[in-house]
């Protein structure tokens, strides 16, 4: 099953087609160094929360926002991958029906 991002970014910042973005997003999500970085940040954030007996509400929110931002980064990258998979499937279907041309 292919999932497509619900909301597209209002501003395309990089002049790349959908398939290129999907390719690079997949490389990033599969990059061992980036995976380690995400794990380290998540673990440090969780450990900070657990080891602090009484964090102020603002501190707890900051930690929560950091974890949510990591999820947002992963989700955005996965969205690019899903968009590329969907685009490939559309092109494949059009090619099979004789509707797709290279232009």
| Residue 54: band (very low, low, confident or very high) from pLDDT cuts 50, 70, 90 | confident
> Which pLDDT does position 14 carry in this prediction?
65
Number of residues that this document lists for the chain: 103
The alpha carbon of residue 6 and the mean position of all alpha carbons in its chain are separated, in whole angstroms, by: 13
Task: Note whether 84 and 18 are within 8 A (CB).
Answer: yes
> Which pLDDT does position 93 carry in this prediction?
85
Whole-model pTM: value is: 0.73
Tens digits of per-residue pLDDT, 55-102? 677 888 899 999 999 999 999 999 999 999 999 988 888 787 776 555
**Which of 2, 12, 13, 11 minimizes the C-alpha distance to 86?**
2
**Which of 100, 76, 102, 78 minimizes the C-alpha distance to 8?**
76
């Amino acid at each position: 099953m292919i999932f497509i991002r619900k909301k597209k970014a209002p501003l395309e910042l990089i002049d790349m087609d959908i398939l290129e973005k999907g390719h690079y997003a997949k490389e990033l999500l599969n990059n061992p160094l980036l995976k380690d970085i995400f794990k380290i940040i998540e673990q440090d954030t969780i450990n900070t929360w657990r080891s602090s007996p009484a964090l102020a509400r603002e501190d707890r929110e900051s930690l929560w926002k950091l974890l949510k931002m990591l999820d947002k980064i992963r989700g955005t990258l996965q969205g690019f991958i899903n968009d590329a998979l969907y685009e490939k499937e559309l092109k494949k279907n059009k090619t099979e029906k004789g509707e797709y041309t290279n232009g």
